[in-house]
Structure 1
Amino acid sequence: MMIADADRYSLPVRPRPIHGEATLGFLMRVARANGYETIRQLRKVFRTFDAVCQGLDLSVTERRALFGPYPSYWGQNDFKHGLTASDFNYSLMRWCPYCLRESAHLRGLWLLKVNSVCCRHAIRLVDRCTSCDNVQRLERVNFEQCDCGTWLADSQGVEKVHSFVVRVSGTVEASIEKRTALSGLPPLSLSEWLRLISYLGQFSETFQPAKPGKIANLYQVDTAIHLFSQASRLLDKWPENFYTLLAALHRQADSQLSIRKTFGSLYRVLYTDLSGACFQFLRDEFEHYLHQYWFGVVGKRNRAFKPETIVSHPRVTLKQAAKKTGVAQATVRQLIQAELISGGRIDLPSGRKALSVHENSLEEISFLAKGCVTLGEASRLLCLPECRVRELISYGIIKPLVSRAHGNAATWLIPKQQVKQLFFTGRASSHLSSTIIVKQLLKYWHLRDGEFKELVQALSEGQLVAVAFQSVALGNVTLNEQETRQWLVEKRYAAGLSLSVDEAAKRLGLKQQVVYDLVKLELLATIQDNLPGRRVTRESLDDFQVTYISLAEYSRSLNRAPRWVLKTLDVQPITGPIIDGSRQYFFRRSDVYIDME
């Protein structure tokens, strides 16, 4: 039964606040104990919260034991701990069944929208009846029992939460008394923890919000637990999991030169929404991540960064690298393309590639570039035409660091040491017969394929010796002409006087493609010797001519047209256009001449 209006400043039943009890929950207990069905009915008698406190004769200490706001229709709240009205849930009740069983009062922390965990029992808070699945509104005064009759302390179906969620929840709860910290993180106040969790919890490795800010349905435990768990996971093992998030967002973004665009809304959260000094640890780790993994350049346009972050960033542009090393910018690019130095590359949507170089590579760039010569410089040093230097490269005698094989480089970079290895010192002779210089030999002797390579190898191995005491470049090496010719004759004889396929075609009087087809069909035997490509010996040519005859040759012997011969001849050709797609018909001589008989 309600008390009379005249006695509104005194209450017959005066419950005492419990430390940490929700102010709203305390009003519910007071209303229920004094016969009111809702706290709005209590409000009609006691116009302000201060009047209720006077009616209960609460001391200052007892009032301080309460946590959280009372409904706005009771008057203006004086929020503590830096909290605001938007931090609290005013409509729906949350509770821990175990805590409610131990003491029938609502804890103030349960009213925080972000909080969804009981760290004492390591479970998720409940916001629905386990029997009828109805939510429990905070206007009603009986918070121990649902309208369906089920006791809310029933712990059936409670969900355990991960240990890292419990650790973060305990740290947040402890921050009511003082600033608290997790391992590796600075101490934060309660309001700072809630702000951190509400923003950071929106991000995951597979999702980032387009416009982080107010979160819809945060009054529901399902939404709050997802937010709290995700933030707890990122804060656990700090900063390892935070780096994992940054790496995931980095990979998923379209290649950008802009850090702001690459990291999207997370960048805005770090430098705008969480711009307070207490959250500097987030920006420090973000900038440390960039120091290690951002392949672009961090310039002065990144004004939000600390000055030391910009100054200490280890990557420079190709232009800056070229200027610092005294090397052409194209050369730096070619060294990166040849993977001789490590370079960061960002593939832009336009198709362009933005390259950068780590400062640790600058010394190596300078060393590589100064220890190399271009193709033209190598040609002048060796006293040979550029085409001959290219031959040496194709043979593997000279191995350039950069060539057209590396990203179509316009400039060749050839180590000077390899060029110097093609300088030769020989012997002097008082009675020399005729001599010849290597570059003249190359011009007039019509060396076969690969014989230039063998000539260089013979000089390197001492089979041929230069006629000079001083070191001489390959092109100016003077050789005894008679000894050199004898060496070449023996070399060719040892090779079995083999012919290239093109040369064999000329000897057979056939087109090159026809002979290549014969080789492919193994009708013309070839060998693979120390010369490049397949080679045809005289024996294989003789065997082929004895064994096979072309339709054209056979038709000429009959003085008939090839079409007529092919139509009237009863012998099946062994190769030809209708047989295997080759260009000419060939028969076995034994078959056609037997057919003639």
Structure 2
Amino acid sequence: MDSINKLPVTPRIFHDESMEGYIARLAEANDFPNVDYLYSHLNYKPWKDSSIYLQALTKITGQDLAGFHENFLSYWVKKQLAIPTISQKITRVCPYCLKEVKYHRYSWSLIYNMTCPKHGNYLVWGCPDCLKHFTLEDVFEGRCTYCQKVLSSIKSMSARISINFPAELSHWSSSTYWNSFVDIDTFCELLRRLMYLLHRYFPNEFGFDLSNAEQKTLALFGYVRESQHQAELFEKSMSLLNRWPTDLLLFISQNREKDHASKVKPFIQKLFLRNRNYLLNSLMRKTYEREWFLNKTVYDHIYDAPLLEASQGSFDETHLHIEDIALLSSQPLININYYLGSHKIPIENHPRNRGQTIRFDFYKQHIEQIKQC
């Protein structure tokens, strides 16, 4: 094939447009036989560095696309934050956005994007008439390619809360514990696991069922095709992770009192003791060992368990356990305690588990020195 120096027709890219969608628009505007024809000229391989293709696209369009690497859906696939069937170009859509301007927003293909930030409605996963899952091709055509239903004519339910990436993970950045100890990828791994376990063991908390295939997709990717259902699981999970671990302990206690012991015990064991991620597994095991309530619940000594109070969550929001700091900084606990003592940083016992803690603001001030002590 002849190389392309400059395309005769180069429509402007939208700031939130997926690069795959833009390439398809370029192919259509320049009367290529199909989008694969243009991909072959770019020698496009999803697993390669996207900057290579941005340079090539800049050359043939005359537009500066250097800062558009996050617009590639492949960028999010590598982070496991894209809808898992993205290789088939599956996506959710906002019918009202398509009614205004027809192009594919890359955020529609992200797992944790469940609502439209502009119109406040749930994103739609598929055609309400034939139940076909929407693809990028449907977006380009503006209609369902199976039954021909116009996408912009579909009605979408207003969302109770807005859940959009990355704003939907704001609790992660505001949570003292998780923001201090894990990155966003590790947090998403925990979030996926908790969403799955909540629906598996406490389905009555939610008003919907999932097929076996959907449960598997939820476990692996945190994705449920119905945005409203995924939003319910997401909101519940985030609420339990925010004031860690008090709110989760209260949830377990409430379900234990409802005589759900047969479900509570495997829930605890799988959430706290069976994580593949090394750091996550270490932190969860430390929490399990430290929180007597979890041990007592698993071994049916519920009446010997320490008293749980919602007010303890306020302490969790402002303090970190010293043994967790030692784990994160890869320093012996004795070195951490020596540093804290020599710098007169006050140590406080946790009101529930009696573990030694320091205030988060002290940790933030001394984090670099603690890592090197």
TM-score (norm 2): 0.56
Q: In structure 1, what is the equivalent of residue 152 of structure 2? A: 153
- How do 1:152-551 and structure 2 match up within 5 A? 152-156=151-155, 158-163=156-161, 166=162, 169-170=163-164, 172-174=165-167, 181-182=173-174, 186-187=178-179, 190-204=184-198, 207=201, 215=218, 221-222=224-225, 225-236=228-239, 238-239=242-243, 242-247=248-253, 250=256, 251-254=259-262, 263-271=265-273, 272-273=275-276, 276=279, 280=283, 284=287, 287-288=290-291, 290=293, 294=297, 295=301
Any idea what the Cα deviations from partners look like across 1:424-470, whole Å, max 9, x if unmatched?
xxxxxxxxxxxxxxxxxxxxxxxxxxxxxxxxxxxxxxxxxxxxxxx
Measure, in 1, the Cα distance between the counterparts of 2:21 and 2:234: 28
Offset, 1:38: 3.9
Mapped partners of 1:190, 1:220: distance in 2: 17
The equivalent of 1:99 in structure 2 is 97
C-alpha distance 45-202 of structure 1, shift in aligned 2 (>3 A): same
User: In the alignment, residue 112 of structure 1 is paired with which amino acid?
Assistant: L
What residue is the counterpart of 2:331 in the other structure? none
Alignment-mate amino acid for residue 134 of structure 1: K
Q: Is the 8 A contact 2:171 2:238 kept in 1?
A: no
> Alpha carbon RMSD of aligned pairs, Å?
4.7
Q: 2:68 matched to 1:63?
A: yes
Q: TM-score, normalised by structure 1?
A: 0.38
Q: Within the alignment, does 1:8 sit opposite 2:13 as a pair?
A: no
Cα offsets for 1:229-257 (capped at 9, x unmatched) = 21312323744753354225544235xxx
Instruction: Give the aligned partner of residue 142 of structure 1.
Output: 140
**Whose helix proportion is higher, 1 or 2?**
2
1:201 and 1:230 in contact (8 A); partners too: yes
How far has the Cα of 1:152 moved from its partner?
A: 1.6
- Choose between structure 1 and 2: higher strand proportion: 1
CA apart distance, 1:118: 2.5
Which of 20, 31, 37 in structure 2 is aligned with 1:35? 31
- Cα distance in 2 for residues equivalent to 1:241 and 1:223: 27
Aligned residues: 277
Query: CA 1:130–1:224 in 2, change beyond 3 Å: closer, same or farther?
Result: closer
1 or 2 for the larger relative contact order (CA 8 Å, sep ≥6)? 2
Q: 2:119 aligns with which of 103, 121, 128?
A: 121
Q: Deviations over 1:387-439 (max 9, x none)?
A: xxxxxxxxxxxxxxxxxxxxxxxxxxxxxxxxxxxxxxxxxxxxxxxxxxxxx
Give the superposition deviation at 1:139.
4.7
Q: How far 1:126 sits from its partner (Å)?
A: 0.7
